[in-house]
Chain A
Amino acid sequence: MIAYLKYIRRAIALLFFTILTISFIGYSFLGLQWATALQFIPSLLKFFIVSTSIGFFVIIAITLLVGRVYCSVICPLGILQDVIARIGRSFRKLKIYRYTRANNYLRYGFLLAIIISLFSGSILAFIFFDPYSLYGKIASATFRPAFILLNDMLSKLFEHFNIFITPIGLKNFSLVTFVVALFLLVTIIAFSYRRGRLYCNTICPVGTILSLLSRISLFKIQIQQSKCTRCGKCSTVCKSECIDIRNQKVDFDRCVGCYNCLTVCSENGINFKTFETKAMLRKIKPTEPVNENRRSFLGALITGLIGTSILTSIKAQSDDSNYKSLIPIKKKHPVTPPGSQSLAHLTEHCTACHLCVSQCPTHVLKPAVKEYGLIGFMMPYMSYSDSFCNFECKICSEVCPTGALLPLTVEQKKTLQIGKVFFIKENCIVYTSETSCGACAEHCPTAAVHMVVYKGSLRIPDTDQSICIGCGACEYACPAKPYKAIYVEGNPVHLVAQKPKEKLQETEAPSDFPF
Chain B
Amino acid sequence: MKRRDFLVKGLGASFAAGLLAKHTHVFSAESAVQMAKDSYDLVAVMGGEPDVMFDRAIAAMGGISKYVKKGMRVVVKPNIGWDKAPEYAANTNPLLVKRIVEHCIQAGAKEVIVFDNTCDQWQRCYSNSGIEKAVKDAGGKLVPGNSESYYHSISISGGKRLKQAKEHEAILESDVFINVPVLKSHGGATLTIAMKNMMGIVWDRGYWHRNDLHQCIADFASYRKPTLNVIDAYRVMKQNGPKGVSLSDVITMKSLIISEDIVAADAAAAKLFGLNPDNVDYIKLASQMGIGNMNLEKLNIGRIKI
Q: Mark B202-213, 1 if CB is under 8 A from A, else 0.
A: 000111011111
Q: In the bound complex, what is the Cα–Cα distance between A508 and B236 (angstroms)?
A: 11
B121:A361 contact, CB within 8 angstroms: yes
Question: Given A390-B121, A451-B188, A459-B187, does the pair A446, B147 have CB atoms closer than 8 Å?
Answer: no
Other-chain contact of B189, A169, A322, A436, A507 (Cβ < 8 Å): A436
A320:B246 contact, CB within 8 angstroms: no
Question: Given A160-B1, A167-B147, A361-B124, does the pair A439, B188 have CB atoms closer than 8 Å?
Answer: yes
Question: Given A167-B146, A390-B120, does the pair A437, B44 have CB atoms closer than 8 Å?
Answer: no
Q: Mark A162-175, 1 if CB is under 8 A from B, else 0.
A: 00101101000000
Q: In the bound complex, what is the Cα–Cα distance between A513 and B146 (angstroms)?
A: 38
Would you give the shortest CB distance from A409 to chain B, in whole angstroms?
17
Other-chain contact of A435, B212, B248, B301 (Cβ < 8 Å): B212
- With a cutoff of 8 Å between Cβ atoms, the chain A residues found around residue B155 in the complex are none
Q: Mark B289-306, 1 if CB is under 8 A from A, else 0.
A: 000000010000101000
Q: Mark B272-289, 1 if CB is under 8 A from A, else 0.
A: 101000010100000000
Which range contains the number of B residues in contact with the other chain?
35 or more
B83:A429 contact, CB within 8 angstroms: no
Residue A269 at the B interface, CB < 8 A? Answer: no
Residue B143 at the A interface, CB < 8 A? Answer: yes
Residue A502 at the B interface, CB < 8 A? Answer: yes
Would you give the shortest CB distance from A487 to chain B, in whole angstroms?
16
Residue A55 at the B interface, CB < 8 A? Answer: no
Q: In the bound complex, what is the Cα–Cα distance between A322 and B149 (angstroms)?
A: 27
Residue B153 at the A interface, CB < 8 A? Answer: no
In B231-273, the 8 Å CB interface with A consists of 236, 238-240, 242-243, 245-246, 248-249, 251-255, 268, 271-272
Q: In the bound complex, what is the Cα–Cα distance between A322 and B188 (angstroms)?
A: 20
B212:A447 contact, CB within 8 angstroms: no
A437:B188 contact, CB within 8 angstroms: yes
Q: In the bound complex, what is the Cα–Cα distance between A391 and B125 (angstroms)?
A: 12
Would you give the shortest CB distance from A454 to chain B, in whole angstroms?
12
The chain A residue sitting closest to B209, CB to CB, is A479
Residue B214 at the A interface, CB < 8 A? Answer: yes
Residue B106 at the A interface, CB < 8 A? Answer: no
Residue A373 at the B interface, CB < 8 A? Answer: no
A-B contact pairs, 13 of them (CB 8 A): A166-B146, A321-B207, A390-B83, A437-B209, A438-B186, A442-B187, A447-B245, A450-B240, A451-B188, A477-B119, A505-B239, A512-B46, A515-B44
Show the binding face of A for B, using Cβ within 8 Å.
Answer: 152, 155-156, 160, 164, 166-167, 169, 320-322, 361-362, 390-393, 429, 433, 435-439, 441-447, 450-451, 457, 459, 477, 479-481, 500-505, 507-510, 512-515
Q: Told that A437-B213, A501-B245 touch, could you supply 11 new A-B pairs with CB distance under 8 A?
A: A167-B149, A320-B207, A391-B83, A441-B188, A457-B279, A459-B187, A480-B210, A500-B245, A500-B246, A513-B44, A513-B303
